[in-house]
Copies of this chain bind each other. A is one copy, B any other.
Amino acid sequence: MAARRLKIALSYDGHPYFGWQVQPGLPTIQGTIETVVSQIEGKPVAVAGSGRTDAGVHALEQVAAFTLENPIPPANLKKAMNRLLPRDIRVLSVEEVALEFHPRFQARAKTYEYRIWREEVCPPFLRHYVHHFPYALDEAMFCRAARLFEGRHDFSAFSAADDKDELGGSKVRQMFEAEGRREGDRLLFRVRGSGFLKHMVRLMTGGLIEVAKGNLTLDRFTALLDPAPGDKQVHAVPAAGLFLISVEYSSEPA
């Protein structure tokens, strides 16, 4: 059989999982998908993702890819995967792509959204899907500071201490759009960028909250985007409020 490369779009509830990446003995998104695809193929199949998501982080749309010899048509593969997967992971689409397609190296942009619940009582149905923060915040400042992430910056101050410096050590990334806004009882931070460091969106949101609490001036906040070594002034907000919204590819081989 000729090898075929399949690109899939997925949505998942990150709450029951220890993140995307395979970890022996722990339930992960990647591990769960590999089990199901390997079952369909009849032998072990490795699944590559567009990037990792941390434990508890959700995806409206994540992209992954794998290589099969099984000639199953894409529409049937989607059905078979959804039959075998737990209901907290769903395959949204399947398409055949060029053999050299890699969902991480060819990703051109990713969009994340962080969701903060501002009312005193958080609806029970949202408890795993928002960060409940009902305390005083200057939301106009939150939104003003959010815009400052746009452009090309060194995000060292907004990356985990143990980040593995995947792009040869550079922590420079480009943010195409970054916006804070109120939507009903939720305060949202949405950011579209060329790539993201470990914990980056949760640290960015943590920084915006420090500004909105009055703990960090806009000047000091701006200075964090061109950081001196040792700057560590922001803390990551919880994983539950974070959603990977979409992954974009420029010229998709087909």
| Residues of chain A having any CB pair with chain B under 8 Å | 11-13, 58, 82, 87-92, 121-125, 127, 129
Contact = CB atoms under 8 A, between A and B. Distances in A.
Q: Which of A82, A90, A122, A129 has the most CB of B within 10 A?
A: A90
Contacts of A129: 125
A124 B125 CA distance: 13
Contacts of A121: 82, 90-92
Contacts of A58: 125
Contact of A12 (B89, B90, B91, B124): B124
A46 B88 CA distance: 37
16 contacts: A11-B123, A11-B124, A13-B124, A13-B125, A13-B127, A82-B121, A87-B122, A87-B127, A88-B124, A88-B127, A90-B122, A90-B123, A90-B124, A91-B121, A92-B121, A125-B129
Q: How many copies of this kind of chain does the complex include? A: 2
Contacts of A12: 124
A7 to B, nearest CB: 17
A86 to B, nearest CB: 9
A71 to B, nearest CB: 23
A119 to B, nearest CB: 11
A89 B13 contact: no
A11 B127 CA distance: 12
A198 to B, nearest CB: 24
A114 to B, nearest CB: 16
A22 to B, nearest CB: 20
A125 B125 CA distance: 9
Contacts of A92: 121
Contacts of A127: 13, 87-88
- 8 A-B pairs closest in CB distance: A13-B124, A87-B127, A88-B124, A90-B121, A90-B124, A12-B124, A13-B125, A11-B124
A90 B121 CA distance: 7
Contacts of A123: 11, 90
Contacts of A124: 11-13, 87-90
A90 to B, nearest CB: 5
A184 to B, nearest CB: 16
A172 B226 CA distance: 73
